[in-house]
């Protein structure tokens, strides 16, 4: 299976970034390697192939890097979810809790139609707050949420608990 590939060896641990005590997972080595990148995109797309996905949504900014090629592989469109004020037309937004404070994501108000089947893709799922909020936005717009996919899931932060609150959609992670 494509998932036998050792994705983890292409992800660098960066201690004390962006602040002391945090170990940042850097996926840029995986994207810098042509074969590793292809393996990751193919494995994510293969997992969700045949489920009628019509749109992939990726949160800014690493969600763009992963989401666009997955959308191409699936024959789906891509929709960016962005920080406030970045999209030029009318938007719908959702705010979600962070450890300290809140964050907001926006997508274009006309980006989804009721019949759309939506896959949410990001590079990394930590607490699950980002993808859970994006999923809620999809559901608020009346589209169908198919699931969530990422390269790396930080299971010790229990993101599946955050996702369970908005439904039983699957989270698929390569690492």
Residues that bind ligand 5GP (CB under 6 A): 24-25, 27, 59, 62-63, 122-130, 159
CB of 12 to ligand 5GP, least distance (A): 10
| Structure token digits, residue 85 | 């004020």
- 76 or 150: CB nearest ligand 5GP: 150
Residue in 19, 89, 90, 99 annotated catalytic: 99
- 48: how many CB neighbours lie within 10 A of its CB? 23
- 25 or 160: CB nearest ligand 5GP: 25
Contact between 131 and 104 under an 8 Å Cβ cutoff? The reply is no
CB of 30 to ligand 5GP, least distance (A): 10
- 36: how many CB neighbours lie within 10 A of its CB? 19
Annotated catalytic residue 97 = no
* Burial classification of residue 21, based on how many CB atoms lie within 10 Å of its CB (0-12 exposed, 13-18 middle, 19 or more buried): exposed
Annotated catalytic residue 113 = no
Any idea which residues carry the catalytic annotation? 62, 99
């Amino acid at each position: 299976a494509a998932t036998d590939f050792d994705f983890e060896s292409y992800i660098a641990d960066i201690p004390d970034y962006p602040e002391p005590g945090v170990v940042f997972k850097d996926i840029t080595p995986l994207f810098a390697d042509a074969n590793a990148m292809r393996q990751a995109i193919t494995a994510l797309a293969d997992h969700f192939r045949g489920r009628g996905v019509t749109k992939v949504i990726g949160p800014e900014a690493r969600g763009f890097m992963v989401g666009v090629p997955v959308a191409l592989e699936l024959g789906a469109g891509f929709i960016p979810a962005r920080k406030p004020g970045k999209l030029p037309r009318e938007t719908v937004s959702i705010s979600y809790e962070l450890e300290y404070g809140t964050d907001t994501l926006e997508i274009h108000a006309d980006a989804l139609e009721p019949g759309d089947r939506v896959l949410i893709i990001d590079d990394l799922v930590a607490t699950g707050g980002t993808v859970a909020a994006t999923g809620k936005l999809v559901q608020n717009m009346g589209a169908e949420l198919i699931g969530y996919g990422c390269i790396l899931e930080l299971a010790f932060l229990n993101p599946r608990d955050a996702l369970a609150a908005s439904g039983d959609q699957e989270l698929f992670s390569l690492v």
